[in-house]
Chains A and B, each alone.
Chain A
Amino acid sequence: MSKSIRLNKGFDINLAGKPQPTVVDADQPETFALKPTNFHGILRPKLTVAVGDNVKAGTPILFDKKNDRVKYVSPVSGEIVDIKRGEKRKLLEIVILADKEMEYEAFKSYSVSELAKVSREQVVEQLLEGGVWPNMVQRPYGVIADVDTTPKSIFISAFDSHPLAPDYHLLFKGQEQYFQAGLDILKKLTPGSVHLNTNADAEVFQMFEHAKNVELNKFSGPHPVGNVGVQIHHLDPINKGDAVWTISPFGVIQIGKLFLDGKHDASKVVALTGSEIENPQYYKTFTGASIKKFVADNLKTDHVRFITGNVLTGEKIDSDGHIGFFDNQVTVIPEGDYYELFGWIKPTTSKVSFQRAFGLLSFLNPKKEFVLDTNTRGQERAFVQTGVLDRVLPMDILPTYLIKAILAQDFDDMEALGIYEVIEEDFALCEFVDVSKHDIQEIIREGLDLMQYS
């Protein structure tokens, strides 16, 4: 049964640097990378390639020794040029120098009519072999979907409500048949329904509107309305012992391509956004692309931070860093490492605040596009203010109590207060508005790790 749900809690941060609705097919970046750190739930990553090896798009390059059926494959064909490691030799990046002409590993392809007859076992086998399995994320915990689990249902958020989020019309234009094929495949994985949740506040993309084999739900309200976790909470909340899977529309399309075309196609459109970008627009490229060519000669100022993803849940990368596996957006904003005389009390119209304490005037001008930098705007303190985090979390969850339960490592309380229903991104706005400047997303992940591994 399709539902239409209106959420009131939340906050939209209106930033400068929205992408122009143009998709450029520019020079492809030289390098692409797979970052094991993008996936939660990889315990013992093991490489199957070494520097100098040649790979095709779809060649397995990594697997998890604890969960060896899931293959992580190369998004492009080329030569492995670098394997970056961090502290304690933690595997950070496998960098691939791309070929000019892309070569693909061949997988079995199906016609649309054949697809209907494929069994669940065959589907799982092909998803694993074709390297598209990591698109599926399992809740609770937000980890790579467990091969032996049958999910209660599958959820797809058909829009992104984060600041400067890319428009899905432009990301997925012309992919209708692959998207539908992907949905048909997903339907075989769960006895429950596949939920496709669209934005009631904007024109709905035809591809979503006409999707079959799904339950189409409509959501409206401010961010985090586009977060799939929030949507699950209102459609079919996760209880203890449940497992549901989530997947992005990109993942669905990639699954469709694997079955219809028989290849691992990692081509995607990414949005280059942010106030410091001269020409914010969309670029055609592949998963894991280096941003070097996109940002070169495209910056307004020098002292900037490059972020793969959005400003709330993203991760800082270098000017030649690579876009994360799940990201379809790069944001560039000014660094904020400066002192500001009496900055803690000066009235300001140029900084955004969810609140209206003395001198915080951004609420007077909700239409304004703000240029925000990375300054923390204060230091970490004990929890003082109450009731504010609740106003940006549209779930029946008491955020402060859950956070405190995690900090106290109280397992019973974490479970009772709803940790199974959340992952970091659901608490990103809480982290933004928190007057005490806690690293709330990090705390939530700590809690998830505690629940899962101890």
Chain B
Amino acid sequence: MKFLRDALDSVKPHFEKGGKWEKFFYIYEAHDTLLFAPKDTTKSKGVQIRDAIDTKRLMMTVIISLLPCLLFAIYNTGLQHFLAIGQPEAAITDIIWIGLIKVIPIVVVSYVSGLSVEFIFATIRRHEVAEGFLVSGMLIPLVMPPDIPLWQVALATVFAVIIAKEAFGGTGMNILNVALTARAFLYFAYPGDISGDVWSYIGTGNEAVSGFTGATPLSIGAEAIATGENVVASLNAYGSGWADGLFSLSNLFMGFYPGSIGATSVLMCLIGAVILIITGTGNWKIIFSVFLGAYGMALLFNAIGANAFMEVPAHYHLVMGGLAFGAVYMATDPVSASQTEAGKWIYGILIGVLTVLIRVFNPAYPEGIMLAILFMNVFAPLIDYYVVNANKKRRLQRATV
């Protein structure tokens, strides 16, 4: 690989101070360090050796943990397409083909638009290109509906990177989760394209099968508040004739039902969670406490039982919608989450509690996890403030006794 190094070394002077492309040094550097780990050595004073980990590897580990969800997303997008148009016997190659042509463009658009913003900001603000967007760029497609117009993906990504991240100083400084900001932006800017009948890709020229309503498990739950029907019975009945058991408990766990591209499968999220926890890149306390908070809140609602959605068995809340995906990949974003160990428990539990609360009390927006996480992102510094204050108090008390 010497020729590659030589090639980089030969163009490098043009990007360095005094070179003709001096302005674009950080863009050059981002590519150089992507190919070669830099030859920097430790300073003469301080640690003389360094841990082998760096942020690139850290972010890449998160992306690897997202791969099960991405692969599942490709298959499921195709599958839901054929189920919705009444061709459940479609060949697996066709299923994957449809999945690929729907999912891959969204991923590409997300990365291209987001990285462009990153490069522009790195050039203007004179700093290195941080790796944070590598993860955000993969998370954004996975929480989009399959039929989202690509220009909206680009717009949402650009908005999220600029407003949620760069405005605060870039990676590591943001208050809100970038991927969720992108989704929230679409939700409030173009509600018609991200709610209602968008969770299965039908395609032009195709007719939806009779009985297909575009419903999701959460929308069925939300409707039950008005109709008073038993939610579990409605879930089990949906899809009868064209996709039996589409919303059965086991299928909700497996994830073969319409929803955000990559966020439907609890199983895949759990595989990702295991990768994150074993590699130490995702915090188990947050993941566990989100589930705990949601389960506890659902149990509480069971006890109250004021409407049909409140009576849904608590474990249904854990498998419906994006709770698992949010808990594993969104809530664990270390920058926007609580940073103290005690704070992480509080942060996670409150996300779970709020998610179920929003689901049950805000039927206009049944997917509660997105708003719950964004809300708790804002409150995470406050939680930390009290945890840090407790540490300071311990120190003061020690001094006086």
Contacts and interface: CB of A to CB of B under 8 A. Distances in A.
A301 to B, nearest CB: 15
A358 B275 CA distance: 9
Contact of A356 (B279, B283, B341): B279
Given A416-B395, A416-B396, A340 B36 contact: yes
B20 interface: no
A341 B1 contact: yes
B392 interface: yes
Nearest to B335: A384
Interface in A343-386: 343-345, 348, 351-360, 362, 372-379, 381-386
B53 interface: yes
B152 interface: no
Contact of A382 (B50, B170, B337): B170
**Size class of the contact patch on chain A:** 35 or more
A437 B40 CA distance: 11
Which among A239, A313, A355 has the highest number of chain B CB atoms within 10 Å? A355
A435 B337 CA distance: 18
Given A357-B280, A379-B128, A13 B392 contact: no
Given A374-B41, A416-B395, A386 B130 contact: no
Contact of A315 (B44, B64, B278, B391): B44
B45 A316 contact: yes
A342 interface: yes
Given A339-B36, A390-B341, A439 B43 contact: yes
Contact of A344 (B1, B33, B44, B279): B33
Name the residue in B5, B46, B395, B398 with the highest tally of chain A Cβ atoms < 10 Å from its Cβ.
B46
A431 interface: yes
Contacts of B38: 339, 376, 378-379
Interface string B19-61: 0000000000000011111111111111111111111111011
A339 B391 contact: no
A376 B40 contact: yes
A432 B339 contact: no
Contacts of B5: 339, 341
Contact of B171 (A13, A344, A384, A398): A384
B281 interface: yes
A418 interface: yes
Contacts of B170: 382
A362 B53 CA distance: 11
A357 B39 contact: no
B171 to A, nearest CB: 6
B31 to A, nearest CB: 13
A345 B388 CA distance: 35
A318 to B, nearest CB: 10
Interface in B311-340: 334-335, 337, 339-340
Nearest to B396: A416
Contact of B398 (A13, A239, A375): A239
A303 B334 CA distance: 39
A441 B39 contact: no
Nearest to A363: B280
Contact of B53 (A237, A305, A390, A435): A435
Nearest to B41: A374
A391 B392 CA distance: 19
A417 interface: yes
A384 B50 contact: no
B35 A341 contact: yes
**Across the A-B interface, the 10 shortest Cβ-Cβ residue pairs:** A378-B54, A343-B37, A382-B172, A351-B52, A239-B399, A316-B44, A339-B36, A416-B392, A358-B61, A344-B56
Interface of B: 1, 4-5, 33-58, 60-61, 64, 128, 130-132, 169-173, 278-281, 283, 334-335, 337, 339-341, 344, 388, 391-392, 394-396, 398-399
11 contacts: A314-B48, A344-B56, A356-B278, A377-B54, A378-B37, A378-B53, A385-B58, A385-B334, A390-B341, A431-B47, A435-B55
